[in-house]
Chain A
Amino acid sequence: MSQFRKVAAIALLLCASAVLAAAADRIFTTPNPAAELKRLFPGAAAFSTLGGEPLHFKAFAADPKANPSAAPLGVAFWTTDLVPNEHGYHGPIHILVGMDMTGVLTGVVVTYNSEPYGYFSVEPPKFAMQFKGKKVTDPFRVGGDVDAVSRASISIASATRAIRDSARIVARQLLVEAGK
Chain B
Amino acid sequence: MDPAVEGWREILAPQLLDLGLLGAFIALAMVSFLRKSIALKYVTFAAAVGYLGFTKSSLVSVSDVFRLTDLSVPEFKYSLAWYGFMLFVVGSTVLWGRVYCGRVCAFGALTQMMDPIVPRRMRLEIPVRIEKHANKVKYGVLAGVLAYYLVTKDVAGPIRYAEPFWMFGLFGSPGMWAGLAVLLLATVFVRNLYCRFLCPVGATLGIISQVTTVFRIKRWAECNSCKLCEKTCEWGAIRGPLIVKSECVRCDDCERLYMDQKKCPHWLILFKRKGNTAVPVSTLN
Contacts and interface: CB of A to CB of B under 8 A. Distances in A.
A118 B147 CA distance: 21
A164 B210 contact: no
Nearest to A11: B207
A14 B68 contact: yes
A65 interface: no
A115 B57 CA distance: 14
B67 interface: yes
B169 A151 contact: yes
B107 interface: no
Nearest to A148: B14
A38 B143 CA distance: 42
A21 B70 contact: yes
B74 A158 contact: yes
B70 A157 contact: no
Nearest to A161: B78
Contact of B4 (A11, A14, A168): A168
Contacts of A118: 155-156
B75 A86 contact: yes
A119 B74 contact: no
A20 B150 contact: yes
A116 B207 contact: no
Contacts of A117: 57, 166, 169, 171
Contacts of B150: 17, 20-21, 24
A29 interface: no
Interface stretch (A49-57, A71-79, A88-96): A88-96
A161 B77 CA distance: 13
A14 to B, nearest CB: 7
B168 interface: yes
Contact of A87 (B3, B66, B74, B166): B74
A43 B56 CA distance: 42
Interface in B65-88: 66-75, 78-79, 82
A17 B146 contact: yes
A53 B246 CA distance: 53
Contacts of A11: 207, 211
Interface of B: 3-4, 14, 55-57, 61, 63, 66-75, 78-79, 82, 139, 143, 146-147, 150, 153, 155-156, 159, 166, 168-169, 171, 207, 210-211, 246
28 contacts: A4-B211, A10-B139, A11-B207, A11-B211, A14-B207, A17-B69, A17-B147, A17-B150, A20-B150, A22-B70, A22-B71, A24-B150, A87-B73, A89-B63, A91-B72, A114-B72, A116-B63, A116-B156, A117-B166, A118-B155, A120-B171, A137-B3, A142-B14, A151-B169, A154-B78, A154-B82, A158-B74, A158-B75
